[in-house]
Structure 1
Amino acid sequence: MADTTASPATNCLEKLKSYVKTQKGFILATEIILSFIIIICYASSLYGGYSAVAICEMVFALIFFIIFMMELDKQFHVVHWVWSDFIRAAIGAALYLITSLICVIQGAGDGPRIAGGVFGLIAGLLFAYDTYTVYLQLKSSRNHTAASTGV
């Protein structure tokens, strides 16, 4: 029988707490928080055109956070989640580094834009680290595949 004393919200909260304590969960949570800070900085600047990158990356990181936290990646085998996460993190790193360098270089006189650029550089490095960790995971899973027997 199922345990009727625990509510679904408590179960979800426990999953959230335990997932944030893992390395991947901490990285994704930090990506979401940094992206939110960058959105605030770009929204308060004189030119907020670069906020689209932060919004998209925050939404994608949030989606992957929920998928990995709820262990939906183990239920839906149609998508190769590790490769999808690798592509998400690599594109996020490239976009954050490019747009943040542009904001820092051209942001003279616009403090929030420069602050968003600095936080974006930090986020770009975090996304690059996430890409590296996922690459190591892909590399180790490729080395552990079974060899064909040729029968």
Structure 2
Amino acid sequence: MADSDRLSAPGCWLACTSFARTRKGILLFAEIILCLVILICFSASAGAQAYSSLSVVEMILAAVFFVIYMCDLHNRIQFINWPWSDFFRALIAAILFLITSIVALVERGNHSKIIAGVLGLIGMCLFGYDAYFTFPFRQQTHTAAPTDPADGPV
């Protein structure tokens, strides 16, 4: 193995893991973990396996967006509008988790189904915050107008 390969590996690892320390990285990682816990709770519940498909799909989508942002692919692949895609993913997930959690809590199953319903409401809040945080118009930067006169200082 050449010295350049050995030296570039820590830099690549540092570049990839630096995203995990950002607010977006922490949100996506928390979404992945929460979806996994909800999946386990729904799978443990008798007769509630139909609800687990939402957490599987959202866990996979959150992992895909985590990898895309971590590897900086959102700047390399320009034909997809990543902020809008991420916004709609999080918004739809929040709405679907709200509906699924309410249905699971109203049916009054066993304890794992109730826990999954409550965690789904927490997931709804997490995905809703992610949708609010990634709203594309909110991220636009505003440049301040110059305050000095155009002809120079007086």
1:5 to partner: Cα distance? 1.3
Output the amino acid matched with 1:71. D
Distance 2:59 2:12 in 1: 21
Partner AA of 1:95 in structure 2 = L
What does residue 32 of structure 1 align with?
Answer: 32
Q: Deviations over 1:121-150 (max 9, x none)?
A: 101100000010111x43342866xxxxxx
Q: Which residue of 1 aligns with 2:137?
A: 138
Report the counterpart of residue 17 of structure 2 in structure 1: 17
2: distance between equivalents of 1:51 and 1:97?
14
- Radius of gyration: which is bigger? 2
Q: CA deviation at 1:97?
A: 0.8
Give the gaps of 5 or more residues in structure 1.
Answer: 145-151
* 1:1-150 to 2 correspondences below 5 Å: 3-6=4-7, 8=9, 10=10, 13-47=13-47, 48-108=49-109, 110-135=110-135, 137-141=136-140
> What is the count of residue pairs matched by the alignment?
140
**CA 1:3–1:94: 2 relative to 1, 3 Å:** same
Query: Contact 1:82/1:138 (CA < 8 Å) preserved in 2?
Result: no
User: 1:123/1:12 Cα in 2 relative to 1: closer, same or farther (>3 Å)?
Assistant: farther
- 1:69-118 C-alpha deviation (Å, 9 max, x unpaired): 0000000000000000000000000000110111112124x111111111
Question: Partners of 2:81 and 2:39 in 1: how far apart?
Answer: 29
Distance 2:40 2:11 in 1: 31
Q: State whether residues 45 and 113 of structure 1, in contact with CA within 8 Å, keep that contact through their aligned partners in structure 2.
A: yes
Q: 1:84 to 1:142 in 2, by over 3 A?
A: farther
3-state SS of 1:35 partner? helix
1:13 to partner: Cα distance: 4.0
Contact 2:17 2:70 in 1 (8 A): no
- TM-score computed with the length of structure 1 as normaliser: 0.85
Which residue identity lines up with residue 138 of structure 2 in the other structure?
Answer: K
Q: Is contact 1:42-1:113 (8 Å) kept? A: yes
CA 1:11–1:120: 2 relative to 1, 3 Å: farther
Give distance in 2, aligned partners of 1:120 and 1:92: 10
Is the alpha carbon distance of 1:104 and 1:70 closer, same or farther for their aligned partners in structure 2, counting shifts above 3 Å?
same
